[in-house]
Chains A and B, each alone.
Chain A
Amino acid sequence: MKEAHHGEGDEKTYKFGMVIDLDKCTGCGACMVACMAENNISFRKDETDKLRSNFWMRVYKISNGLPFPDTEVSYIPRPCMHCEGYDHHHATPCVSVCPATVTDYNHETGIVSQIYTRCFGCRYCMAACPYHVRVFNWWDPRWPKGMEKYLNPDVSVRMRGVVEKCSFCFHRYQRAKNKAYAEGRRELREDEYQTACTQACPAGAITFGDLNDPHHKVYKLKKDPNAFRLLEKLGTNPKVYYVSTTDWVRKASDAYTGKQGEGVTPG
């Protein structure tokens, strides 16, 4: 209970996070679509302008930049990092700039929330986020006739003018918690709460769980010698870890910019 700054006394607290094995990730994109289907993410006829395209989970392709045949590419799935920060001076970047208390770091779950109805679209958070996880709704969502039928009632649809981002499928946490409480349990089992992307990944590259719980898989995986986080030097303390046995991929995580062939170029 030591971390329950905002908890309700005896509430069980978690620090949910992810470990993504980049050796296993095939860049297939199933996580992106599972996320879009789960979270009622809208789409338009032309989605080729990626600066305007709405992804909560986006798979980036990077290359070592070497000429044929020494070229290598790798994929980096990028959900929200749910940065914990370290202290007042290294706080969650988006939370610290939001003027409307839209986004908050929840100490019960370690999830960075986003309350759409509070957001008035100033986009400070987008500027503050070093991972580009936040997207702005430039348009109201529109579903082709009939397609609104598949919308998930557990996730609200978002309007034009607000910012949104990955929630670690928070509604799944709520659902699991309700079920556990109904059964008289106060703690969630590891498999009870999993994000849509984790569940979908055909490669099993994504592992999700409580980073503080030694019984959860992520606890061990994050300690892998090849584990790293993106832009760690910024002090954001992200809760998404990556594992790669490839040197240049690990090097790329801190946005290393060296000579061609030493660093990383977009794929």
Chain B
Amino acid sequence: MKLDRRTFIELSVGFSVGAGTGILLSPVNWKLMDDMTIWSQELWPRYQLGGLKGQLPQRGEVTHVDSVCTLCPGGCGITVRKVGDRATKIEGRAGYPVNDGGICILGAAGLQLLYGPWRVPGPLRRAGQRGAGQWEQVSWEEAIAEAVKKLAALRGEGNAHTVACMLGSDRGTVPQLFARFMKAFGSPNLMRTATAEDTYELTLGLMQGVTSSVGYDLERANFILSFGSGLIEGWGSPVRVIKAHSIWRSANVKERATVVQIEPRLSNTAAKADRWYPINPGTEGALALGLAHVIIKESLYDDNFIRNHTFGFENGTDATGKGYMGFKRLVLTKYTPEAVSRMTGLSSSKIINLARAFARAKYPLAVWGRGKGTMPGSVYECMAVHALNALVGNINRPGGVWARPKVATQGWPEVSQDATAWTGYGMPRLDGAGTKRYPLTGHRPERLFQMASEKPGAVEALLVHEADPYYTTLDSQAVARAFENIPFVVSFSSYMDETAHHADLILPNHHYLERWEDCPTPVGLQKPLLGLLRPVVAPQFDTKHAGDTLMTIARALGGTIANAFPWEDYEGLLKETLADQWDTLEETGYVEQAGYTPPAWEQAFGTPSGKFEFYVSAFDQVGMTMRKDVGYLPHYEPVKPEGDAALYPLVLIPTDLMRLADGPVGNPPFCTKTLEETELKGNDLFVEVNPETAADHGLSEGQYATLETPKDTAKVLVHLFEGIMPGVIGIPKGLGHTGYDDYLAGKGVNANSLLGVVEDPISGLCATWGIRAKLTRV
């Protein structure tokens, strides 16, 4: 048969129609399609749910465990809901003295940190290059033996003092164990991260002669004057302060307070405040003194307190017959509203009105510590703000500033040192803290790294516990150089943070939900409180309590070092140390002194004069003789940001966000997810620029730009924000991680790398509030 084109088409069509009809009539297709549907639905859980293996989250007995959160120094009580042996939710503990049921964003995401892949699975020894992320998993015996070998060798060489230790805090039994270890081992170089709390402690020491932390009676204050404190951005104990903020915002007129925020940028605190006064960054101290001027000039101060309980308000002569200038004279001559207006950029009338409103309020309270209070800041600035509190007589008063005694003793036996320890411990500290130049300061963490980077051999070993100096220290590049000069770094971190990532040995601590530990009074709380962490879940990985690890190392080192740790294990030590409080702690989870009141003015001040000192005579006592009288008084000494104004026309300030953890704990994925579209896009970070400034630099919304400071350069995105002062750039702190894993690492820029360290002349701590910068279009 001849198959022409026509026949071919006819046959083809006929065949197709026939086949189509056949297929449609056959049940096979329908059956297959149905099977496909079922199969694909079943396939989904099996293949897509990762570890779930097609199962829903397992059910089990529901229980609740109370503990304390230590993700920040806020020390909130938490209640963890458990299903079987799994922790499924962290909630604020109802009735806990700090947070009464509330929880912050970071605390609520704590389980992501517990179960996350950023946990250190067990003791690790570096296998490849430093920071390359190549690790060898070793046994605890091996890991501890390695640490002991290195430490014993250094000690044998007479280099015990070259071992430094960096802690996140010095309160509680575990930091005290590290301190004890350093003393028994023979090194004076115990460091810890410094914050605004240190500066306020120093101020209380100088002006009130007490060894106390600052406590604010926020709940009873009714006029809150904040010098840049991020009251709702994580300052102090975050949940407690946010709760106080709600009292201030209460619809109840009796409770309602006035909040005034002084800050160059419209932070959330500024946005919520009754009044926001943007001033030139770094001039907060000048404004405080300008307000003091008005209060003194118009006699609005607390006459009883000033007259009977203060020293150095008026001019006078001291015990040696030397005449001195009083605070009143200094303030009246140098800080007139007009002069202060020129420094701060705030109009004289606003300064005068603010001063009057503050002084006339029933419970005025001036609070200090920029942002979350993570940077120590200037001592004179803190003194100036504290002087405002003194002027209105709110020291140790309801709604005022309370000096909360620091309890340092644990009741442990004295450490007996052998000759090596005695020699090593007696060596000068590398950071110069406690020396003639900085007699008042206990730790200068930034200086340690400067020394290490300048002098190879100065630090031969570094132990790091509950801190991430590699990430959090300003001038990151200098810190990286310092690490290159430290041959042996041991991290006790639970997480693969930046410091752990650049360590030689990781001896991972139990996570805070896996261990027993004491949690002393949270930052900024006015009443003493002791909380207890208890294991919520069994250790998820091959970790060991840092206290036990340290004691094991000590025992292996032998001799007097071993003798300094007579306890069997950390839990035993904790029970013994907390002694008569233990039963209450174990039962209720905390011990509070609800009825605590600070001492009355007659007994409150341990200064040479026995009074609150505007004129700080303690400076002479510690050998810090000032050239001029003004040096003894709260005054404005500008902290100049690094960089040449001609090269760097703008000023970069770090900004603190409640949704972004910027301390030693990395931001969990839930929190990073909540960042705004104008904060992070992909892996690029936005900096805030005023539209006016942006126009001057030819920049528009969403554009890439190069941000350059004397310390570092970064590629950023521009976000136009009307709420930031022209000429100022805001950069969020807490991104730019390299540790953890890619849920956090590689996102944004680490603000700390763009900033540098400016030393405070009194404390030697980091007084940086910003740096000069340049922003150019890419």
Contact = CB atoms under 8 A, between A and B. Distances in A.
A44 to B, nearest CB: 8
A145 B105 CA distance: 23
B681 A33 contact: no
B289 to A, nearest CB: 22
A32 B105 contact: yes
B139 interface: no
Interface stretch (B266-274, B359-367, B399-407): B266-274
Interface stretch (A92-100, A182-190, A195-203, A210-218): A195-203
A22 B239 CA distance: 17
Interface in A212-247: 224
A37 B111 contact: yes
Contact of B691 (A40, A67, A267): A67
B571 to A, nearest CB: 25
A124 B60 CA distance: 37
B161 interface: no
A115 interface: no
Nearest to B540: A146
B724 A157 contact: no
Contacts of B271: 72-74
B652 interface: no
Interface stretch (A23-31, A82-90, A102-110): A23-31
Interface string A133-168: 000000011111111111111001101100000000
Given A45-B743, A203-B242, A69 B278 contact: yes
Most buried by B among A37, A43, A55, A61: A37
A91 interface: no
A59 interface: yes
A28 to B, nearest CB: 4
Interface residues of B, number: 80
Contacts of B691: 67
Contacts of A36: 670, 673
Given A33-B670, A149-B115, A203-B246, A48 B48 contact: no
Interface string A231-267: 0000000000000000000000000000000000001
A201 to B, nearest CB: 7
A242 to B, nearest CB: 14
A46 to B, nearest CB: 6
B48 A159 contact: yes
Nearest to B59: A153
Interface string A171-189: 0000000000000000000
A73 B675 CA distance: 16
B245 A34 contact: no
Contacts of B57: 40, 148, 151-153, 157
A239 to B, nearest CB: 21
A26 B723 contact: no
B669 interface: yes
Given A45-B743, A48-B682, A68-B690, A156 B92 contact: no
B38 to A, nearest CB: 13
A203 B102 CA distance: 8
B88 A150 contact: yes
A13 to B, nearest CB: 28
A200 B92 contact: yes
B381 interface: no
Interface residues on A, range: 35 or more
Contacts of A40: 57
B457 interface: no
Nearest to B277: A69
Given A68-B690, A157-B56, A143 B105 contact: no
B748 to A, nearest CB: 10
Given A28-B242, A143-B51, A199-B101, A150 B674 contact: no
Interface in B309-354: none
B659 interface: yes
Given A73-B723, A140-B44, A150-B87, A43 B669 contact: yes
Nearest to B94: A199
Contacts of B673: 32, 36, 43, 47, 53, 55
Nearest to B114: A150
Contact of A27 (B49, B56, B268, B725): B268
A112 to B, nearest CB: 23
Given A48-B680, A48-B682, A68-B724, A142 B117 contact: no
Contacts of B411: none
Contacts of A80: none
A201 B468 CA distance: 29
Nearest to B109: A33
A49 to B, nearest CB: 8
A147 B44 CA distance: 19
Contacts of A150: 86-89, 111-112, 114-115
B665 to A, nearest CB: 14
Most buried by A among B90, B105, B680: B105
A241 to B, nearest CB: 14
B88 A67 contact: no
A63 B688 CA distance: 15
A43 B671 CA distance: 10
Contacts of A152: 57, 83, 88-89
A199 B91 contact: yes
B50 A68 contact: no
A71 B266 contact: yes
A75 B242 CA distance: 15
Contact of A140 (B49, B56, B115, B683): B49
Nearest to B668: A33
Contact of B103 (A73, A147, A200): A200
B677 A203 contact: no
B48 A71 contact: no
A151 B102 CA distance: 21
A37 B109 contact: yes
Contacts of A66: 722
B366 to A, nearest CB: 21
Contacts of B60: 153
Contacts of A45: 669, 742-743
Contacts of A46: 682-683
Contacts of A7: none
B621 interface: no
Contact of B88 (A140, A151, A199): A151
A65 B691 CA distance: 12
Nearest to B121: A146
Nearest to A61: B676
Interface string B674-708: 11111011110000001110000000000000000
A147 to B, nearest CB: 5
Contacts of A75: 268
Contact of B104 (A73, A146, A160, A202): A202
A17 to B, nearest CB: 19
Contacts of B208: none
23 contacts: A24-B246, A26-B245, A32-B105, A37-B89, A38-B89, A45-B742, A66-B722, A67-B691, A71-B721, A74-B271, A144-B743, A146-B540, A150-B86, A150-B112, A152-B89, A157-B56, A157-B57, A199-B101, A202-B92, A202-B104, A202-B239, A203-B242, A224-B251
Interface of A: 21, 23-24, 26-30, 32-34, 36-38, 40, 43, 45-48, 50, 53, 55, 59, 61, 63, 65-69, 71-75, 140-153, 156-157, 159-160, 196, 199-205, 224, 267
Interface of B: 44-45, 48-52, 56-60, 83, 86-92, 99, 101-105, 107-109, 111-112, 114-117, 119, 232, 238-239, 242-243, 245-246, 249, 251, 266, 268, 271-272, 276, 278, 540, 658-659, 669-678, 680-683, 690-692, 721-726, 741-743
Counting from the closest, the 5 A-B pairs by CB-CB distance are: A202-B102, A151-B57, A140-B48, A26-B232, A47-B673
Given A28-B238, A73-B268, A140-B49, 11 more contacts: A33-B105, A36-B673, A37-B108, A37-B670, A67-B692, A71-B722, A142-B49, A143-B51, A144-B743, A150-B111, A159-B48
